[in-house]
Amino acid sequence: MVSDVHSNREALEAVFHEIDAQGISQIWCLGDVVGYGPDPEFCADLIRARCMKTVRGNHDEALFAGAEHFNPFARDAIKFTKRRLQPRAEATQNDRERWEWLRTLPQTFRHAALLFVHGSPRDPVNEYVYPDDPDLLHGRKLAQLFDSVDLAAFCGHTHVPCVIRSDSTVFTPADSDNHFVLDPKFRHLVNVGSVGQPRDRDPRASWVELDGDTLVFHRTEYPFAITQAKIRREDMLDEILAARLSQGI
Ligand code: ZN
């Protein structure tokens, strides 16, 4: 599972290289294919070609629904992305298909006892669930979050990898040597972190492998200096979007 690629070609290529090297056969994407980064066409085309399923992220949705509620640099990045992706008169067939694919991404999908969303099970595109959310200790939010979940829901959106269990226990990858076993006695919300803009102070791309009932949290190094240089060449992409990539914030 990959999520929050955010138009970061170098991170996506490095992750897919590692996925291929490990012989992983199915890739699922949890949204925010675009936004923030400099390579929306490349990332959307590669995700569309390689992923079994992709759900809609809030940045993907903002291309069509508007980005008025975003902060200024996220909003400008949506403007930049829309200018690059929205088909003009001279657009190719692939340009049009890419735009239509982004417009029609589903909010959720299910596979056996697994649910896939961008944000949360109760608000699949927009809700943030952070591992240190104090409301998680209160039963109501927890119950609502897990209401539609069988064994596990997978999400992204916060760019912070973790597992939140239905008994309100929270696990970070470091707690368990990057491995976690799904326990049928509980329900789980698994955040796979971000490929293209990690925010847990580790700049390496984050993704999660599911092997039977075992999750493996992976980190993949990539040449972020190349992505930063591309961002700095674009007037509409704020410096903060480049600077944060080397710090993982
Ligand atoms: Zn995101």
What pLDDT, on a 0 to 100 scale, did the predictor assign at position 219? 98
pLDDT tens, N- to C-terminus, the chain (249 residues): 999 999 999 999 999 999 999 999 899 999 999 999 999 999 999 999 999 999 999 999 999 999 999 999 999 999 999 999 999 999 999 999 999 999 999 999 999 999 999 999 999 999 999 988 877 767 788 888 899 999 999 999 999 999 999 998 999 999 889 999 999 999 999 999 999 999 999 999 999 999 999 999 999 999 999 999 999 999 999 999 999 999 999
What pLDDT, on a 0 to 100 scale, did the predictor assign at position 136? 75
In the structure encoding, which two tokens stand for residue 3, read together? 């999520």
Q: Is 57 exposed, middle or buried (0-12, 13-18, 19+ CB in 10 A)?
A: buried
Which residues are paired to 52 by β-bridges? none
Q: Is the dihedral of CA 114, 146, 123, 77 positive or negative?
A: negative
Ligand 1 mean position to 57 CA, how many Å? 7
What pLDDT, on a 0 to 100 scale, did the predictor assign at position 235? 97
Full 3-state SS string of 172-231: CHHHHCCEEECCCCCCEEEECCCCCCCCCCCCCEEEEEEECCEEEEEEECCCHHHHHHHH
Ligand 1 mean position to 90 CA, how many Å? 30
Contacts of 39 (CB under 8 A, 6+ apart): 7, 8, 9, 230
In the structure encoding, which two tokens stand for residue 44, read together? 């959307």
User: Is 195:15 a contact under the CB 8 Å cutoff?
Assistant: yes
Domain locations in the chain as residue ranges: 9-246
Neighbours of ion ligand 1 (CB under 5 A): 4, 32
Contacts of 81 (CB under 8 A, 6+ apart): 7, 34, 35, 40, 59, 63
pTM: 0.96
Can you state the percent helix, strand and coil of the chain, rounding each to 5? 35, 15, 45
- Residue 128's alpha-carbon distances to 57, 75, 88, 89, 159, in angstroms, are 12, 18, 34, 38, 10
Identify the CATH number of the domain defined by range 9-246: 3.60.21.10
DSSP category for residue 136: G
Ligand 1 mean position to 159 CA, how many Å? 6
Ligand 1 mean position to 59 CA, how many Å? 7
